[in-house]
Structure 1
Amino acid sequence: MSVPSGIPVPSAPPSYEETTGINVNYPQPYPTPEHGRKPDGKRMNPSSYMGQPSPAHNPITVQTVYVQQPVVFCDRPIQMCCPSCNQIIVTRLSYDSGALTWLSCGGLFLLGCVAGCCLIPFCIDALKDVDHSCPNCNTLLGSYKRL
């Protein structure tokens, strides 16, 4: 079939390359640096171009935290880990005169026990304060105050 002369023949629409000036079939060239150098010519850290994190830029700090439950001391020996010698121990008790002992002595004195009977509370451990210590290292671990 022939096209009569004088009739315009429609042409293909302009390509993307013709309208934008960008060649889409070939990647754009970019400068490749020498091995171990940045494009500006400075040396790179070997771990950064090897795909490994640099220890100077990404320090990792590991901290171990031990959470210890508070120890409640009473008038009896308890089993615990000594914070000084790190041994599992049963505490050693020692009794010391505290506020309850002195108040008991004063109360007995006021009631008329003046001939030495007011000193009886100093002989009763149930009225004294209790100190807990480690039997291995003799460290004072805590106290139980009666009053």
Structure 2
Amino acid sequence: MAAPSAPAPSAPAFATAPPPSYEESTGANNSAPYPYPPPGHVVGPAMKMGQPPSYTVPPYPQQSQGPAGPPPVPLQAIYVQTPLVFHDRPVQMCCPSCSKMIMTRLSYSAGMLSWLACGSLCLLGCWAGCCLIPFCVDALMDVDHYCPNCNVLLGVYKRL
């Protein structure tokens, strides 16, 4: 007598059914081939089933050879230069008078801050000559910027 044979091993439970496809999970109609035509689309004469639409390029309009008016005016480039801000240090710039690239020459002159400092020192009792010290300190005076080539005044920096 033969011994009863062991049952054949079965496939694991997770491999019994394939995962649902995109169409099944979203409910999309997959009866029509992808991508033409979309569901609910009527196929016209320019589009056939499974073929991309054909495009035609219209011809360019013909230009007339006759007079078309006055000749075109050539364009002129306009350069806008931002205004320079002068400080208490020399500035490198193009001189508008001599059209050369220069480093400005500085000259100091008494301004409002110098006179206010002199008046303040006089009020504090330094009237015997110490009140003239602000006219010797460059940090309290206005700055004039000159071109070193043509000596034209280019700008002024006022402290106050």
Q: TM-score, normalised by structure 1?
A: 0.61
CA, structure 1 residues 69+53, in 2 after alignment: closer, same or farther (shift >3 Å)?
A: farther
CA, structure 1 residues 58+103, in 2 after alignment: closer, same or farther (shift >3 Å)?
A: same
- Pairing 1:119–2:132 present: yes
- Pairing 1:72–2:75 present: no
Amino acid at match of 1:126: A
The structure 1 segments of at least 4 consecutive aligned residues displaced by more than 4 Å after TM superposition are: none
Amino acid at match of 1:144: Y
Measured in 2, the distance between the counterparts of 1:58 and 1:142 equals: 44
Q: How many residues align?
A: 97
Runs of 5+ unmatched residues, structure 1: 1-48
Amino acid at match of 1:110: L
Name the structure 2 match of 1:86: 99
Which deviates further from its counterpart, 67-76 or 109-118?
Answer: 67-76
Listed as ranges, the matches of 1:40-79 within 5 Å are 51=65, 57-79=70-92
Runs of 5+ unmatched residues, structure 2: 1-63
Measured in 2, the distance between the counterparts of 1:84 and 1:126 equals: 29
1:45-72 Cα deviation digits (max 9, x unpaired): xxxx9x3757x72341432201212211
Q: TM-score, normalised by structure 2?
A: 0.56
| RMSD, matched Cα | 1.8
Measured in 2, the distance between the counterparts of 1:137 and 1:53 equals: 53
Measured in 2, the distance between the counterparts of 1:89 and 1:53 equals: 52
Name the structure 2 match of 1:102: 115
Measured in 2, the distance between the counterparts of 1:105 and 1:130 equals: 18
Name the structure 2 match of 1:142: 155
Q: Percent identity?
A: 66
Measured in 2, the distance between the counterparts of 1:125 and 1:77 equals: 14
Which deviates further from its counterpart, 65-74 or 97-106?
Answer: 65-74
Measured in 2, the distance between the counterparts of 1:94 and 1:52 equals: 66
CA, structure 1 residues 58+120, in 2 after alignment: closer, same or farther (shift >3 Å)?
A: same
Measured in 2, the distance between the counterparts of 1:78 and 1:89 equals: 8
Tell me how far 1:137 sits from its aligned partner: 1.0
Measured in 1, the distance between the counterparts of 2:97 and 2:66 equals: 43
